Every structure is written in structure tokens, then in C-alpha cells.
């Protein structure tokens, strides 16, 4: 997918505005001429300047091509479906992992992803389960990252 520079520049300007809006509430540091919002503000100003340069460059080259140009893979239904499945799987995890739990949500997502690549369910589901347990062990036990238990909280180890 190819976007005109003006669109990317506009997105950078909006992002810079959001940063500036967010840091306005940072408390000042007593006895200092500057506070914790100084560096985020400088970064936001730099992003806005880069965004402005991109908008100007994109506006000048607007006749060179379309504003948004789809890549060839987006025209292939199977590849587009796989792309949507990855985005959907990530959203599924974000929205449901706290309520349902890591050990239930992740095998479902991994199984769907593995099967979307053409693997039979008899292979995909055990692989998804083993990989989920391996990921859980590494992150929860070794790295001590708190993963959500959800409905399995009574069985947490």
C-alpha cells in the first residue's frame, strides 16, 4: 500500500497535536525553569515540522499518482483474509484476554492463524496448545511477566 506524503504528514501533525495536548497536564517541577513536558513538547514540535514538510511535498506531487495506491497483495482474497485474520486476532486478544485468560485466548488465535496458512486442524490445534504453554512458561515463569488468568484464576500457579 502506498500513501501520498501529504496523508502521512497530516497524520504526523495530528499525532504531534495529541502529544502536546497530553503533556499539557504534566506537573511543573519546583525550582526548575522546565518540567517533564519539555522533551515531549520538543519531539512534538519536530514531528509537526516533519509533518508539515511531508504535506508540502505531497501537495506538490499530488498529480504524480493517486493519494492511496493498493498493493497487489491486497487484491488477492486469501492474502487479504490472512491480513484481516492477524489484525482480528490481535484485537481479539486485546479485548478478551483479561476476561477469558491468556491460556484460552492465545491457543484459539494461534490455531486460527496456523490453519489460515493451510495446516490441518489435527496439527494446528496441538501446535497452538504447545506453543501457548511454552510462551506462558517463558513469560510468566522465567521473565515474570504477569499474564492474565481470566476465568482460570482459581487454577493460577
Q: Between 73 and 26, where is the model more confident? A: 26
Residue 96 has pLDDT above 80, yes or no: yes
pLDDT of 62:
75
Give the per-residue pLDDT at 131: 98
What is the reported pLDDT for 74? 81
- Grid cell for residue 124: 494446528
Among candidate residues 64, 156, 48, the one with its CA nearest the CA of residue 102: 156
More confident residue, 93 or 70: 93
Of the listed ranges 17-31, 36-50, 63-77, the least confidently predicted one is 63-77
Alpha-carbon distance of 17 to 39, in angstroms, equals 14
pLDDT, the chain, mean = 92
pLDDT in tens, 134-150: 999 999 999 999 999 99
Q: Which pLDDT does position 72 carry in this prediction?
A: 85
- Rounded CA-CA distance 59/75 in Å is 27
Whether the CB-CB separation of 65 and 4 falls below 8 Å is answered with yes
pTM above 0.85, yes or no: no
Pick from 29-33, 111-115, 119-123: least confident: 29-33
Query: Which of 86 and 35 is assigned the larger pLDDT?
Result: 86
CB hemisphere CA count around 36 (13 angstroms) = 8
50-85 per-position pLDDT tens digit: 999 999 999 888 777 777 887 888 889 999 999 999
Helices 102-116/77-100 angle, 10° precision: 170
Amino acid at each position: 500500500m502506498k500513501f501520498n506524503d501529504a496523508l502521512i504528514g497530516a497524520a504526523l501533525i495530528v499525532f504531534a497535536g495529541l502529544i502536546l495536548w497530553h503533556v499539557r497536564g504534566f506537573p511543573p517541577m519546583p525550582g526548575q525553569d522546565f518540567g517533564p513536558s519539555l522533551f515531549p513538547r520538543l519531539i512534538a514540535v519536530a514531528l509537526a515540522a516533519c509533518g508539515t514538510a511531508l504535506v508540502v511535498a505531497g501537495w506538490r506531487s499530488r498529480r504524480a499518482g493517486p493519494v492511496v495506491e493498493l498493493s497487489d497483495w491486497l487484491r488477492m482474497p486469501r492474502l487479504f483474509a490472512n491480513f484481516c485474520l492477524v489484525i482480528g486476532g490481535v484485537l481479539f486478544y486485546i479485548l478478551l484476554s483479561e476476561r477469558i485468560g491468556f491460556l484460552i485466548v492465545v491457543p484459539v488465535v494461534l490455531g486460527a492463524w496456523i490453519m489460515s496458512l493451510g495446516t490441518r486442524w489435527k496439527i494446528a490445534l496441538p501446535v497452538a496448545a504447545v506453543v501457548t504453554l511454552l510462551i506462558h512458561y517463558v513469560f510468566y515463569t522465567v521473565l515474570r511477566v504477569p499474564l492474565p488468568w481470566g476465568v482460570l484464576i482459581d487454577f493460577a500457579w
